[in-house]
Structure 1
Amino acid sequence: MSKKSASDRQILEWRRNLAEELAEYRIYRRLAQKRDGEEREILLELAEAEKRHALHWEMLLGDKVGKPLRPSFRTLLLGLLARWFGFVFALALIQTSEERATERRSDDDDWGTPSMAADEAVHAEVIRALATRGRNSMSGTFRAAVFGANDGLVSNLALVIGVAAAGIDNSTVLLTGASGLLAGALSMAAGEWVSVRSQRELLDASTPDENSNSLLPALDYDANELALVYRARGLSQDEAERLAGAAFEKMRAQESVNALDTHTADFEEIGSPWRAATSSFLFFATGAVIPIIPFIFTSGMVAVLIATVLVGIALLFTGGVVGVLSGKPPFPRAMRQLLIGYSAGIITFALGLLFGTTA
């Protein structure tokens, strides 16, 4: 099919594709400005690839290119995130966008070249890798923050509306909510501190003693017990002896060698126990204070309704953020979080009504 036989619908689709490619080119350029080193180079190369794709649509359109169209709302949102929000957050959304572009190219786009479809698939994997770097660097603190906020929202909502449903006076509801906030925040902080600290201690126990390297030159070359270390780490006997022999040769040549080095998790990946504990405390407290606020200004079922709505909005937000950062559609994750939170609230509310009626 030639350009002359292209329908108006196809021409409009090409123009939309052109707008998308140009917008993505600008997004990658904007992200590259905020990075340096290898990440910057990778993002600039992705931008050049999008520019090539835009040229393809321009050539197809010819004199029918018309006035530039606006890209989709999603792409405009990506541009906004790339400009104002965190690098990882923007990459996570771009990852989803690239995956959808790959599906679109392979399903119903007969005008994109096979190399363009392959480019989009590779772009998704490149972005996935870059986003994974960022997720790993923030995993400990982010996990503590998200789970802390969600736990605070759900547990204190369930607590205060359950007590309120039992007909308890407003001051007691406030005292109960404040106590739940403090107790929960301290418990979360202590749990995170112990968890992260234990991980670091386990890692420390698995890390080779650096002082042992200084004694290695005194080993008997013929016995070569260094090979036993490598075999204990899971290597075959031949591979272990080869590595041990190579280490001895370097030591004989008086070269610097760390023969006992091994690949273990980095302390930075695990994070600081104090940072995780502080993050967990603050975010739990932030989440837990939301269902208390309405009871400061009003009481009864009005306060319960307002608290439920406020917590629902917050749960939608935190669930959506988790979905975005995991590279998945945010809406299902937001609704899942809302369903979990409201289920807990409904149960305690019903129990509060039951006990209040019984009393």
Structure 2
Amino acid sequence: MTTSLQEVQRYTQNLQKEIDGAALYAVLERKETRPEMQTVYRRLAESEERHAQFWREKISAAGARLPEIRPTGRARVLIWLAQRFGPQFILPTVTSNEKADSNAYAGQPEAETAVMSAEERAHARLLSAASGGDGVSGSIVAETEGRHRSSGGNALRAAVLGANDGLVSNLSLVMGVAGAELAGRGILITGLAGLLAGAGSMALGEWLSVQSSRELYERQIGIERDELAANPEEEAEELALIYQAKGLPEARARELAHSLLANKATALDTLAREELGIDPDELGGSAWEAALTSFFLFAVGAIIPVVPFIFSSGMTAVYISVVISALGLFGIGSAITLMTGRSIWFSGSRQVLFGLVAAGLTYGIGRLIGVSIGG
């Protein structure tokens, strides 16, 4: 039976996806410092490589030339982020993408794809299985499955959204005062004031959010400490139930719980991670670091529409501001694809559209107000 060009293209697309996954998990394994997570990443990389080999063989059997496929740009960006900031930085994004890709083989005719689809869906369950055999703690399983997102993992999302907030809000502000025909110097001062006000507000809000979370976590850990001191047997029973829910036999769960709580140095740490889903070493991260990061990211986005008014004025500055802001919006939309997996052109164009619509509305309102006041 002759294989159609469309089928070969489908084989190639499937191969690309598996190569991306294998390359990413291989890097995560190398950068990971925890032996149990290294085991998880190695098994995931081996699974993706097996799938990739299947599609290579399908392409060769179809009589087509086996293409030289390298990781996509999106995969390379995630790899770079993992190498620069560590696996936890991108872990929630990778986990979300893995879940989104779990149905990628649905409806494909090859019998083997049913097995592949099951293996893709089982990648998260692989971590739960490793908690019994390879010693992966419940907090790591929860972290990788996305139930408790780490502050490092959310940093990518916060970075993108912080820059987007600064760019869209200050572009709208600048266009509003430009529509009111404010002088170029006045627009520049307004834009810089908007940058400082917005960045300061974002930083304060982020500090309050993280500091409140830290205080809440400290209180929860304090309560757990008191309960452990007052009734250690009850805490051991609760911990055993958690391990049973993860699939351990009752006897093994009780043995593991009592063994962990017998060590006074690590008992509270274990309960915080397993029962509360809290990492006592981080407690949600540093409030000051979060505030400064939020300030910087907002400012990076907010300065873009202001820059042309430093060197120019009038409608020339307005046009340049709109153009470079559109480029910035497209870049932010492209960065969002790291989390969503959508097309770069789709996400980038959507971001440009929404940002320019907001700027157009404020420009029109500013124009009306300027005319009515000047009239």
Q: Does residue 1:344 correspond to 2:341, yes or no?
A: no
Q: Which residue of 2 aligns with 1:182?
A: 196
Residue 57 to residue 300, structure 1, CA distance change in 2 (3 Å): closer
| Alignment match, 2:118 | 118
8 Å Cα contact 2:173-2:191 kept in structure 1: yes
> SS in structure 1 opposite 2:107?
helix
For the 8 Å contact 1:15–1:65, the answer to whether it is kept is no
Displacement after TM superposition at 1:322 (Å): 3.4
> Which of 41, 44, 52 is the equivalent residue of 1:43?
41
Match of 2:73 in 1: 77
Structure-2-length-normalised TM-score: 0.69
> Are 1:171 and 2:185 counterparts?
yes
**Is 1:34 matched with 2:34?**
no
Which residue does 2:336 correspond to in 1? 322
Q: Which amino acid aligns with 1:33?
A: R
Shifted more, 194-203 versus 24-33: the winner is 24-33
Structure 2 Cα separation of the partners of residues 214 and 23 of structure 1: 45
Change (3 A) 1:186 1:343: same
Whole-Å Cα distance in 2 between the matches of residues 194 and 259 of structure 1? Answer: 27
Aligned to 1:136: 150
- The two structures, once aligned, show a CA RMSD in angstroms of 4.3
Which of the numbers 8, 11, 34 marks the counterpart of 1:12? Answer: 8
What secondary structure, in the 3-state scheme, does the structure 2 residue paired with 1:155 have?
Answer: helix
1:290 aligns to what? 304
CA contact (8 A) 1:27 1:79 kept: yes
Aligned to 1:52: 50
2:244 corresponds to? none
- The answer (yes or no) to whether the contact 2:180–2:366 under 8 Å persists in 1 is yes
**Quick check: 324-333 or 122-131, which moved more?**
122-131
Aligned with 2:322 (options 305, 308, 313) = 308
Q: Distance in 2 between matches of 1:272 and 1:329?
A: 34
Distance 2:80 2:5 in 1: 35
Aligned pair in 2 of structure 1 residues 215, 351: CA closer, same or farther (>3 Å)? Answer: closer
Cα deviation digits, residues 5-40 of structure 1 (max 9, x gap): 343548735863785456654453344333342332
**How many residues matched?**
325
Partner Cα separation in structure 1 for residue 354 and residue 10 of structure 2: 43
Q: Provide closer, same or farther for how the CA distance between residues 306 and 106 of structure 1 changes in structure 2, counting only shifts above 3 A.
A: same
Contact between 1:19 and 1:70, CA under 8 Å: does it hold in 2?
A: no
Matches within 5 A, 1:227-238: none
Q: CA 1:22 to 1:77, structure 2 compared with 1: closer, same or farther past 3 Å?
A: same
Return the match for 1:193 from 178, 202, 207.
207
Note the C-alpha offset of 1:206. Answer: 2.9
How far apart in 1 are the matches of 2:195 and 2:218?
A: 34
Relative to structure 2, which stretch is displaced further, 189-198 or 11-20? 11-20
Q: What SS does structure 1 have at the residue aligned with 2:68?
A: coil
Once the two structures are superposed, residues 231-255 of structure 1 have per-residue CA deviations (whole angstroms, 9 ceiling, x without a partner) of xxxx9xxxxxxxxxx9xxx9xxx98
**8 A contact 2:99–2:121 mirrored in 1:** yes
Which 5+ residue runs of structure 1 have no aligned equivalent? Answer: 217-223, 236-245
Q: Which secondary structure does the structure 1 equivalent of 2:222 belong to? A: coil
Deviation of 1:205 (Å): 2.8
**How many Å apart are 1:290 and its aligned residue?**
0.6
Taking the aligned partners of 1:45 and 1:39, their CA distance within structure 2 comes to 10
State the identity %: 33
Contact 2:224 2:268 in 1 (8 A): no
> Do 2:92 and 2:153's aligned partners in 1 also have CA atoms closer than 8 Å?
no
In the TM superposition, residue 171 of structure 1 has moved relative to its aligned partner by 1.1
Q: 1:62 to 1:152 in 2, by over 3 A?
A: closer
Letter in 1 for 2:29: A
Contact 2:174 2:187 in 1 (8 A): yes
What whole-Å deviation, never above 9, does each CA across 1:247-279 have from its counterpart, x for those lacking one?
Answer: xxx9xxx98596996633345252211011101
User: In 1, Cα distance between the equivalents of 2:125 and 2:224?
Assistant: 37
Q: Report the 3-state secondary structure (helix = DSSP H, G, I; strand = E; otherwise coil) of the residue aligned with 2:72.
A: helix
2:173 corresponds to: 159
